[in-house]
Structure 1
Amino acid sequence: MSNLAELTLFLFVKGINSTHIDGIHLNDEILVRMPRLNKFTFSITTRVYNRTSNIFLPSNDDIQRSFIERRYQQIGSYADDNTIKIRARCHIYSLPYHFHMFHNVTNSFQGGMFNKVRSVIVTDDIYPFEHEFFQI
């Protein structure tokens, strides 16, 4: 067990024949081992490739619910998979967003205010990017 009270995590995970990280996975594999954790700030992007079977990502509502059921109330997420279901990406992050970088924004991005962000990478390798990202 860890005595860690605060944790800030900015993580990009690439997996082959694996699954994405959601609130259930994060809680059961990591956070359950940190009973004294009071503050958890995170941005986790999971990119999954699976050539042997189809990938089916849950909806953004399902992903967010997996956190809310485990005491994390303000969560942002977006997930997308390609049409042939062998590649998928999921980005989960705590709100308000505290990081200066927001990478791999896709067409599935839900929007929001990100006052601290100074670096944005927009990606359109799965679906064309159509979101109005900048407000003038």
Structure 2
Amino acid sequence: MKQKDKQMISQLEKKLKAEQEARTFVEKQLMEEKKRKKLEEATAARAVAFAAATRGECTETLRNRIRELETECKKLTIDIKLKEDQIRELEMKVQVMTKRQGLRSASQGELSALQNPRIYISGNHHLQ
């Protein structure tokens, strides 16, 4: 019986050693998996933080661009109003000059009639 007990103990020790080795191997794999998962989580957290920061920068860039465009739009609106005022002034000047030209033409016609009374008289003579 002693021999059987020794064999049994030897087998159980071998089995225990194999189970301990298997356990150590599984624990090592578990630790590696935990490290990998932590690394993935950290990478994901950095990616989220980077995306948020990028979004913030992008948003700020867009806000600045909007401000620039609004300022440019205001300047262009002012320029348009100034140009419209200039156009109105020029149109008024054209009207004044046209009236003056019309008055000059009429005055020249009257002056011409006074200088050539025969035409005026003969013109009236036909009317009589």
- TM-score normalised by the shorter chain: which range applies? under 0.3
Q: TM-score, normalised by structure 1?
A: 0.15
Query: Comparing both structures, which one devotes a greater share of its residues to helix?
Result: 2
Q: Which has the larger radius of gyration?
A: 2
Does 1 or 2 have the higher relative contact order (CA < 8 Å, sep 6+)? 1
Q: TM-score, normalised by structure 2?
A: 0.16
